[in-house]
Amino acid sequence: MNVLVAVKRVIDYNVKVRVKADQTGVETANVKMSMNPFDEIGVEEAIRLREAGKAEEIVAVSLGPQQCQETIRTALAMGADRGIHVKTDEELQPLAVAKLLKAVIEEERPGLVILGKQAIDDDSNQTGQMVAALLGWPQATFASKLDIGDESARITREVDGGLDTVDVRVPCVMTTDLRLNEPRYASLPNIMKAKKKPIAEKTPEEMGVDITPRLKTVQVIEPPGREAGIKVESVAELVDKLHKEAGVI
Amino acid sequence: MAVLVVAEHDNAELKEATFNTVTAATEIGGDVHILVAGTGCRSVADAAAGVAGVSKVLFADDAAYEHHLAEIMAPLLVSLTGNYDAILAPADTFGKDFMPRAAALLDVAQISDIQEVVSSDTFVRPVYAGNALATVRSEDATKFITVRTTAFAAAEASGGRAVVEEIAAAENPGISTYVGSDVSRNERPELTSARVIVSGGRGMQSGDNFYLIENVADKLGAAVGASRAAVDAGFVPNDYQVGQTGKIVAPELYVAVGISGAIQHLAGMKDSKVIVAINKDEEAPIFQVADFGLVADLFDVLPELEKELEKIGL
Ligand SMILES: Cc1cc2nc3c(=O)[nH]c(=O)nc-3n(C[C@H](O)[C@H](O)[C@H](O)COP(=O)(O)OP(=O)(O)OC[C@H]3O[C@@H](n4cnc5c(N)ncnc54)[C@H](O)[C@@H]3O)c2cc1C
Ligand SMILES: Nc1ncnc2c1ncn2[C@@H]1O[C@H](COP(=O)(O)O)[C@@H](O)[C@H]1O
């Protein structure tokens, strides 16, 4: 089977994000961008499936501006076989991404589609579930273990109470949680090889998908800060403060 | 105008998150209804009927709903949508799973993880691990909303006198089945609703050392949490993780032990009322959000803390 992995270009998780002065969004000029960490886990899982003889071709898909091609190249350098870039400079919200991915998936017919559980920029945690819904496929969200066959997959999910295991019909959509695997770094030879791997380009217009944002962002502000408190010198002083001053114990 | 809250429960009891979600629903305005989908859970429906401010309970009793699989929950929500201006569920792994699926089936954009209701169509939600707050407006006829439960007080569990209306199960597409759970059971309060939390990080060095945290937690009647590093290293189970991609908590008192204070961890706990940090590195970023910081070795501090708590009668 083939595996399709969605890879989103986001502000690197180490960057201290700043809100724009005009309150329309966050500062992205001259900010380090990377692949969403959950998507790295998705690419890694796909490569491991191929290494285990369970997957053939791995296609990495990214949606957004021209620079998304860098994110796709990163996936190709890790080991994906080819890329698809759905190019647009418009704002893309999860429902629009899901519709575009659905169109790509119907063309590519993979047995498994992997997305991250959450993009660390919008923190929506929606897209994978929406893709599954639009396709009428099962979804296994927040996956920490995957065992896939031709007909069905057994997936362990990280949930609030611990771990849940589900069996889902294949083809299916899976979203990754942090402990599914630890992604590899691309080796230098693989980075070189990735430069020759193909990336197909599409646009939402060609695909006939309406991507008009549904949620209107009224404003984006910085959250109220917390004032740093005091340092205490001893455990006794700490307990005293918590007991008498803060009254929380 | 009416708003529907999807109750989170385990077929025996309503989960705390349901009560917070009811409060968010009340703020949106209109009649508040609760959907209880489950199996053999009449007692849960009755409990939901008693929640203050709720006027109707929709009760779908069917074996298919036992584990709230998204593929089975989504069609049920779709069948009810027409009657509601908004459908709400807690933004935890329960609500996050089926809500976007139902929304997409209806061509609706979900509003995730709201922490404030500005008006019936406008909400505030954190983005970028809480480093920015976005105010968003939705024009969808039925809004699908998941609620950051720590941002809303719990509705009163009693005082309501809602009618319970049994509703038919929706179609089960039969594409997924529940196999089993590995539930990490302990006698402690649940992290997301605990009044006090003591969390350990990589500084704990091993899972064996977590007894030091547990001893202090016992004295405080606290829940035990952890950083991602502690969970990844296998010190404690995954459901202990607090943070951007773990659980969001806001207790009265949060004690961070051997946790550096990465932005992703802060995202999950910085709304706690009082924060204590115990770390041997005085430069650790956790001190920037701590009300009380103690620069010391946790292996000295934790046993001493236990003794000091005893002294004040805990
Ligand atoms: C996509 C993504 C999502 C993430 N989500 C989360 C999340 O939800 N939650 C989360 O917590 N993290 C998350 N992280 C990880 C986060 O970036 C940090 O790596 C993590 O929080 C660090 O955990 P820590 O503070 O325990 O470890 P460290 O950063 O290694 O800090 C250990 C601390 O212990 C102190 N220490 C060591 N020994 C002692 C001692 N004897 N006495 C006292 N102090 C001591 C050290 O001074 C240090 O400050 C995420 C990361 C990514 C990329
Ligand atoms: N523009 C995009 N390009 C590629 N993948 C995306 C895009 N937006 C979302 N995704 C995928 O959807 C996942 C969840 O995103 P979200 O629902 O926005 O939190 C991400 O981890 C990606 O796998």
Mean pLDDT over B295-304 rounds to: 98
Q: Quick one: pLDDT band at residue B187, thresholds 50, 70, 90?
A: confident
How far is it, in rounded angstroms, from Cα B275 to Cα B187? Answer: 24
The Cα of A228 is separated from the nearest Cα of chain B by a number of Å equal to 5
- Of ligand 2's listed atoms, the one at least distance from the Cα of A38 is 21
What pLDDT does B185 receive?
Answer: 75
- Interface contact flag, A138 B232, Cβ < 8 Å: no
Q: What is the pLDDT of residues B260-296, one digit of tens each?
A: 999 999 999 999 999 999 999 999 999 999 999 999 9
Could you tell me which of A84, A163, A139 has the C-alpha nearest to residue B105? A139
Residues of chain A with pLDDT under 50: none
Helix B93-105 / helix A94-108 crossing angle, nearest 10 deg: 70
What pLDDT does A132 receive?
Answer: 98
* Residues A42/A62, Cβ–Cβ less than 8 Å: no
What pLDDT does A227 receive?
Answer: 86
Ligand nearest to the CA of A132: 2
Handedness of CA B12, B247, B195, B303 (dihedral sign): positive
What DSSP string runs through B12-70?
SSB-HHHHHHHHHHHHH-SEEEEEEEESS-HHHHHHHHTSTTEEEEEEEE-GGGTT--H
- Token readout for B186 is 């302990």
> Ligand 2: which residue has its CA nearest to atom 14?
A118
What pLDDT does B173 receive?
Answer: 97
Ligand nearest to the CA of B299: 1
What pLDDT does B183 receive?
Answer: 86
Helix B93-105 / helix B70-80 crossing angle, nearest 10 deg: 60
- Token readout for B129 is 């691990």
H/E element holding A76? helix A68-78
Q: How many CB pairs under 8 A join A and B?
A: 261
What pLDDT does B278 receive?
Answer: 98
Q: Is B260 helix (H, G, I), strand (E, B) or coil?
A: coil
- Token readout for A112 is 């498994």
Would an 8 Å CB–CB cutoff place A198 in contact with chain B? no
Q: What is the pLDDT of residues B48-96, one digit of tens each?
A: 999 999 999 999 999 999 999 999 999 999 999 999 999 999 999 999 9
Q: Is B282 exposed, middle or buried (0-12, 13-18, 19+ CB in 10 A)?
A: exposed
pTM (whole model) above 0.90: yes
- Interface contact flag, A249 B292, Cβ < 8 Å: no
State the CATH number of the domain containing residue A100.
3.40.50.620
Is the model's pLDDT at B184 over the cut of 80?
no
Range of the domain at A216: 2-246
Residue with tokens 């115990």: B278
A87 φ/ψ angles, rounded to the nearest 5 degrees: -95, 130
Q: Is B273 helix (H, G, I), strand (E, B) or coil?
A: coil
What pLDDT does B55 receive?
Answer: 98
A103 φ/ψ angles, rounded to the nearest 5 degrees: -60, -40
* C-alpha A94 chain-centroid distance: 11
Could you tell me which of A31, A47, A35, A49 has the C-alpha nearest to residue A6? A35
Q: Quick one: pLDDT band at residue B1, thresholds 50, 70, 90?
A: confident
What DSSP string runs through B103-149?
HHHTT---EEEE-EEEETTEEEEEEGGGTEEEEEEE--SSEEEEE-G
Domain count, chain A: 1
